[in-house]
Each structure stands twice: as structure tokens, then as C-alpha cells.
Amino acid sequence: MSAQAHIRIIATGGTIAGRGDSPTKAAYTSAQVSADELVLAVPGLDEVAEISTETLFSLDSKEMGFSHWRSLAALIDQRLANANCDGVVVTHGTDTLEEAAWFLDLVGRWHKPVILVGSMRAGTALSADGPSNLYQAVSVCADPAAAGRGVMVVMAADILSGWRAVKISGTALNGFHAYPGGSIGYVSGDQVFFHQGPDPGPLAGRFADLIHNERPLPLVGTQFCTAGCAQLHNQWWPQGRDAGLVVAGFGGGTVPDTMAEALRERADSGTSIVISSRVPKVTVLPETMTLVENDWVVASRYLNPQKAAVLLSLSLAAGCTPLSSFEALH
């Protein structure tokens, strides 16, 4: 680990910047603390790297979306172009952190490390995890072995490839895991350990051209399947060649017959449809889903609905067929 590394911390809000009225109550307000205040709350951080900070957003991450992450990607691009910047750490709310990490992986062509970090408890909570998570994130970012690994997430001492990171709990300190696969390393004290080589996503940087242009990023609707969902009215589904719909189906991507027929009709009218699954560990393949895969109706492979929506939006914005993007997942 090099104490001379210059790491830029970009704050965007979230629980890690939150404050509550009581150290023992669950209630708190997100995005109350600046980047400078976050750094001051971490003893010894200045011994890990030379730190500079800025606050891009002060938002609860439930308010974050594609336009925010595009602005974030553009800022990261700008900061990493500076020869004096060795890496970027982004503090981010955990509600949409997995989508943010996936989005940045898809648009970023960065050799220098980009780390996303958050917390499961506000800074005023008993045993707040934000300071330790931030210390570990900066430690990873400052480690020379972090270069060339793509976007990463550091939470509860685990190092996860950004494209694999998934939130699995709303309360546990180790609320993230990697799927498919597992973590790529961990932090112990002030030591960083990688137990495998670089693991950039299969689509890393594919949509880099979308960072700096004005092309709209389509919003994508999501249909969640439950028992009896065949009776649901489908008039709200988006329609048109620039519109997208992700279906969180059952198991391997099955949907009720009446819904399948409605989805076929909507696809014929121009809407792009991705079939994912409502299960925690998604595996939806062309041969397991109810619908027949084609250029505009695709299986999500291992992407959960929220990540499938990100890839579908970027694919539509880039003018490529959803099939060409989702087939590249491996």
C-alpha cells in the first residue's frame, strides 16, 4: 500500500452520510454529512493516502437514477484523467449501490481503480460501519494491485467486482455479496488481499460513448410476477421502440400463459422486453423462459431485474439490440 497515492473521494449522500436522533433507533435521515466530514470521522485515513474530496450529490440513493450516474461517470472520467489522481472512491447509498456499480462498469474505461462504498448504519448509530468501510475502500483504492480491476465495491471488509455486487439485506452489516461467483479479496486491518486476478465485467466500458453525449437514457418499467399476476392489467407497460420492460418472472423466467401472450403483443408493437426472475440467484436462459428469445425479447442470464433494467436502458440508448448485449454476458 502506498501512502503517497492520491485518492479522490466523491460523496453522493446515502446512509454513510446520514444522521439520526438516537444511536439505538433505526430511523435516520440520509445525506446530511459532507465529504470532508466523512473523512474527518475516520482516524488514520491520512496515513493511507493523500485525500481530496468533493460532494457531487447529497441524496438518499432511492432518489438516484441513470442521469445521476451519468453525471457521476463524467466526473470520474475527468478526475482520473488527471495524472495526479491515482483512483476514485465514491460514497453512495446502498439502496441503489448495486445498480450504480453496474452502470459505472458498463460506461467506464478506467485502468485506475474506482471503488464504491456505503454503510448499513448512519454515522450517529451505535457501532456505525461507515468509518471502517471508508477506511477499507481507500485502502483498496490506494493499493497498486487494485489497478486494472474495473469498478469495485468494498463493504464490511469484502472486495467485490462492481458488476457482480448484489444487495442481499437491508440491515446486516455484510449486506452485499457477489453473484455470480464470490468476492475477489478482503481487507484485514490495514492490509489488502486479492485472491484472484483482475475481474472486469464482460461488458466493461462497452457504453463509454454515452458518458459525454446528450442521448436520452430510456426509463425501463418492471413487472413483478406473483401468484395471480395473470389477472393484472397491462396497459401501463411502456410501448415503442425506445421503450423497455423487465419482467421478474418465476424460477427460470416463466410467466403465466395469458401474460406471455400480452408480452408477445407488446414486443410486436416495438417494446424491448427482458425476462429476469424474482428469485435471489437469477439464472434465466433462452431455453428456460416461457417466451422465445429474439432481438427484442431476451433472457437476462444471471442479471436480476434491477441490473437488467440498467443494461436494457444503455443498450437502447446506444442503438443496439438487447440481444447483442445480453448474449455477451458470460
- Between CA 172 and CA 174 the distance in angstroms is 5
Among residues 79, 107, 83, the alpha carbon closest in space to that of 10 is found at: 79
Please give the distance of CA 56 from its chain centroid, rounded to a whole number: 17
- In angstroms, the CA 87 to CA 126 distance is 31
Residue pair 199/184 in contact (Cβ under 8 Å)? The answer is yes
Segments of the chain assigned E as strands? 6-13, 50-59, 87-91, 114-117, 151-155, 158-161, 165-167, 176-178, 185-188, 191-194, 220-224, 244-249, 272-277, 297-299
Please report the DSSP string for 235-294 in residue order: TTS--STT-EEEEEEBTTTB--HHHHHHHHHHHHTT-EEEEEESSSS--B-TTTSSSPP-
Q: Sort strands 87-91 and 50-59 into parallel, antiparallel or unpaired.
A: unpaired
**Which of 143, 140, 129, 147 minimizes the C-alpha distance to 183?**
140
In angstroms, the CA 69 to CA 35 distance is: 18
Active site positions, annotated: 15
Residue 63 region by backbone torsions, left for phi larger than 0, else alpha for psi between -120 and 50, else beta: alpha
